[in-house]
A = this chain, B = another copy of it.
């Protein structure tokens, strides 16, 4: 399952680090504790809409830009997930059509095509 808060954290961290700000500095600007700010960046806590707006304001980045970046990151994960699911499908199909033969000792083995 692709989780909004995890990719939000992934998007927020480089925005903070680019001008070399600490979690403590950003937390102070956004009026949120260092611990909570850290959990948001690690995708472990949800940020309320008010807090998200305050963080964007402290980062001096429009909320729309952050959300657009999160949407792109989510789209990448969705694509990666669907590719993995397709591979699983192809894998099961390949297994289903592989001809098998039985060895004299009873073992079932895939025969060369």
**A4 in the interface (beta carbon within 8 A):** yes
Copy number in the complex reads: 2
A67 in contact with B62 (CB, 8 Å)? no
Count how many chain A residues have C-beta atoms less than 8 Å from C-beta atoms of the other chain: 24
Known: A49-B6, A50-B3. A71 touches B74 (CB 8 A): no
Is chain A's interface secondary structure helix, strand, loop, or mixed overall? helix
Cβ-based interface call for A113 (8 A): no
For residue A52, CB closer than 8 A to chain B, the reply is yes
A2 to B70, CA, bound (A): 17
In the complex the two chains form, is B78's CB within 8 Å of A74's CB? no
Whole-angstrom distance from the CB of A15 to the nearest CB of chain B? 15
